[in-house]
Amino acid sequence: MPTYSYANALKNAYKVSWRIEDVLADRRFDPAKRWLPAPLSAAPALGWLGEEGQRALTHVELGAYAHLFGYVEEFIAPKVSALARDFAIDQRVAFDALTNFAAEEVKHMNLFRAVRDRVNGQLGFELELLAGEASTARFVLGKSTGAVLLLTAAIEWLTQRHYLDAIKSDDDLDAFTQTIFKAHWQEESQHAQLDHLETLRAFESMNAAERDRAIDELIELVAAVDGLLRQQVEHDVANLSRRLARQFDEQQSHDLRREILRAKRWTFLLSGVTHPRFEELFHQVTTPAQRERVGAALERLFSA
């Protein structure tokens, strides 16, 4: 298990810090390229769309991908701000690291709003995207700190996996996509480490009943995320139909929903909970019985 510290995270955050205007500049997405890599997209499983249709699907998927990151950061930023207050005045390095973490999440939300606007501008219409960010953030923040931090840890680690395993070395992927998510990855690298430290701190102060409650609430949160992904799937199908000026028959619509949901589940849930660093953290703060309970709940959810 790597050793993380608030001091190193803060030091590295200052090294890689960037401005939105420098990342975006006047760049545009290349309409002849895929905008989302194959491992994060449903396109490879939908050959009947044809090359143009598959490429168009990655274009609307990118808008949703950026939107969903901004969506979850709506609850991460206030949660981390609240945690920082535990260190105010007396432990300034930890306080500074966490407040900087929260500020970067706010910056990311603004980055992804700008990315959505640029996608809409290039597609020529406004994408249908998941609504209700504020109500979802309130719902998540109503859960125990342990549950929220475990969900956040999975999200932070999946950002690392997406960039390093799918985006960074894909020569056929749009270069602007790579620029955006390289910048995101650089700052999220520190966030993943800080969330690890905060999760350990949260669980250290819990008794057995509180830990059980956190695991139950984590299962509830994962189910809620899956419900949100299902909603965005419907939007993606509608967006693709509009992008291609094409109606899909019943079988095609069924296939689209199945494969887009499969891709989104991998992208926003499974790629996080199966990341080796998340698995190490999860094993540190849970019992075998709790891990079995989570595994059974995931199996039930994804078989539905």
DSSP-assigned states of every residue in 152-216 = HHHHHHHHHHIIIIIITT-TTB-HHHHHHHHHHHHHHHHHHHHHHHHHHHHHHT--HHHHHHHHH
Residue whose structure tokens are 């956040």: 152
The per-residue pLDDT for 249 is 97
Q: What is the mean pLDDT of the chain?
A: 97
Q: What is the pLDDT of residues 162-188, one digit of tens each?
A: 999 999 999 999 999 999 999 999 999
129 vs 304: which has the higher pLDDT = 129
CA distances from 51 to 71, 161, 200, 234 (A): 30, 26, 47, 22
Confidence at 59, pLDDT banded by 50, 70, 90: very high
The per-residue pLDDT for 303 is 86
Q: What is the pLDDT of residues 13-27, one digit of tens each?
A: 999 999 999 999 999
Helices marked H in the chain — which ranges? 6-16, 20-24, 50-84, 92-123, 133-141, 145-161, 175-204, 208-244, 250-265, 271-273, 276-285, 288-303
Q: What is the pLDDT of residues 88-98, one digit of tens each?
A: 999 999 999 99
Average pLDDT over residues 245-256: 98
Average pLDDT over residues 225-254: 98
Residue whose structure tokens are 């069924």: 254
**Does pTM surpass 0.85?**
yes
Alpha-carbon gap, residue 42 to 71, rounded angstroms? 21
Average pLDDT over residues 213-239: 97
Output phi, psi for 32, to 5 deg: -85, -5
Residue whose structure tokens are 């109500």: 135
The per-residue pLDDT for 115 is 98
The per-residue pLDDT for 225 is 97
Q: Where are the domains of the chain?
A: 6-303
Using the Cα atoms of residue 134, residue 226, residue 156 and residue 239 in order, give the sign of their dihedral: negative
Q: Give the domain 6-303 fold.
A: Ribonucleotide Reductase, subunit A (1.10.620)
Nearest to 238 by CA among 225, 228, 248, 227: 248
The per-residue pLDDT for 2 is 74
Structure tokens at 214: 């956190």
Q: Reply yes or no on whether the pLDDT at 304 is more than 90.
A: no
